[in-house]
Amino acid sequence: MGSEAIIVFFLAGVVLVAGANFLSNLISPKSDNPQKREPYESGMTTIGPTWVQFKVGYYLFAILFLIFDVEVAFLVPWAVVFGEMGSIALVEILIFLFILGLGLAYAWKKGALKWE
């Protein structure tokens, strides 16, 4: 594939997004008043800071996701050559999956997969 196409694609992307923003700034009607700057235009103002601390559960899910993400990265090349390598590849991947499967079982048992 010609690399010119990539450059054209890149430039088109930049021009389209920047152009759309610029145009909408240019032609949209503007109004500004104090009410508009409130976090909620109707209803109550918020109590306390609007940023809330996330639960630690999100983090746990993210880290588990990441670990299995890395695992998948190793599974892909295995899957490509599995046909030609046969049983030995199967044994190797079974060890790999068994170890990580135990990890998953541990996470399950400890309630890391449960949303509280």
Residues lying near another protein in the complex (CB under 8 A) are found at: 2-4, 6-7, 10, 47-49, 51-56, 58-60, 62-67, 69-74, 76-82, 85, 88-89, 92, 95-96, 99-100, 102-103, 105-107, 109-112
Please report how close the Cβ of residue 20 comes to another protein at its closest, in angstroms. 20
Kindly tell me which of 20 and 70 has the beta carbon lying closer to another protein. 70
Could you tell me if 78 and 93 are in contact, meaning their C-beta atoms sit under 8 angstroms apart? yes
Q: Determine which helix (DSSP H) or strand (DSSP E) holds 101, and give its type and residue range.
A: helix 87-109
Please report how close the Cβ of residue 12 comes to another protein at its closest, in angstroms. 13
List of residues 6+ apart from 80 with CB closer than 8 A? none
Please report how close the Cβ of residue 30 comes to another protein at its closest, in angstroms. 26
Going by C-alpha positions, the residue among 76, 61, 67, 56 that lies closest to residue 101 is 67
